[in-house]
């Protein structure tokens, strides 16, 4: 009896090891889930013969296309308001730009820092987005985009090759990269 109690105390349940359930996102191969929010909404980049498209998946409604207005879009982050940050080419532009997608208004491309490319990597609850963008001098700089301030260069004094990238932002507005 004592031995059985001792074994029970040492079990993974008693030690608080989480138990995981693996749920396959339907039609997810070769599609790639890339981000999840606290409500269980998953960003899925869906591959087709025409390029990549962003969708949201959850257990209740399944997969829903974001119907973004770009070409070859890739979603990379989602906040708890189901706002998605990613990168894609505005239709017909041939250039890649960071974007914000929201249910009410769809896709808004965020522009660049004067160069030809920007990519988003993180979004917070305030819908502030961080990533990297090229300047007119073809230098890679980290950026912060806010609805009130637009795209702001976080590394304006950077002049070395290799550049900078902001990869995440929290709800306090603290950025890492």
Structural domain boundaries of the chain? 25-176
State the Cα–Cα distance between residues 27 and 100, nearest whole angstrom: 25
Of 59, 55, 1, the residue nearest 28 (C-alpha): 55
Q: Which strand (E) or helix (H) includes residue 5?
A: helix 2-9
Q: What is the pTM of this model?
A: 0.82
pLDDT > 90? residue 154: yes
The CB density around residue 165, as the number of other CB atoms within 10 Å, is 19
State the Cα–Cα distance between residues 55 and 84, nearest whole angstrom: 10
> Measured on CA atoms in the order 150, 32, 70, 79, is the torsion positive or negative?
negative
Q: How confident is the model at residue 4 (pLDDT cuts 50, 70, 90)?
A: low
The CB density around residue 67, as the number of other CB atoms within 10 Å, is 11
The predicted-structure confidence for 27-42, as pLDDT tens digits, reads as follows 555 556 689 999 999 9
The CATH number of the structural domain formed by 25-176 is: 2.130.10.150
**Beta-carbon contacts of residue 46 (< 8 Å; ≥ 6 apart):** 27, 31, 52, 53, 54, 55, 63, 65
What's the whole-number mean pLDDT along residues 97-122? 94
The residue assigned the tokens 């990869």 is 167
């Amino acid at each position: 009896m004592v031995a059985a109690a001792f074994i029970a105390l040492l079990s993974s349940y008693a030690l608080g090891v989480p138990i995981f359930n693996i749920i396959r996102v339907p039609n997810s191969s070769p599609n790639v889930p890339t981000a999840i929010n606290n409500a269980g909404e998953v960003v899925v980049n869906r591959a087709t013969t025409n390029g990549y498209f962003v969708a949201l998946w959850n257990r209740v409604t399944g997969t829903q296309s974001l119907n973004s207005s770009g070409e070859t879009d890739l979603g990379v982050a989602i906040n708890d308001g189901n706002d998605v940050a990613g990168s894609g080419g505005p239709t017909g532009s041939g250039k890649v730009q960071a974007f914000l997608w929201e249910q009410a208004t769809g896709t808004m491309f965020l522009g660049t820092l004067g160069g030809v490319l920007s990519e988003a990597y993180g979004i917070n609850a305030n819908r502030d987005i961080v990533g990297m963008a090229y300047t007119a001098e073809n230098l890679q700089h980290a950026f912060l985009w806010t609805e009130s301030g637009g795209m702001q260069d976080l590394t304006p004094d950077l002049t070395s090759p290799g550049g900078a990238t902001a990869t995440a932002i929290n709800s306090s507005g603290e950025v890492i990269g």
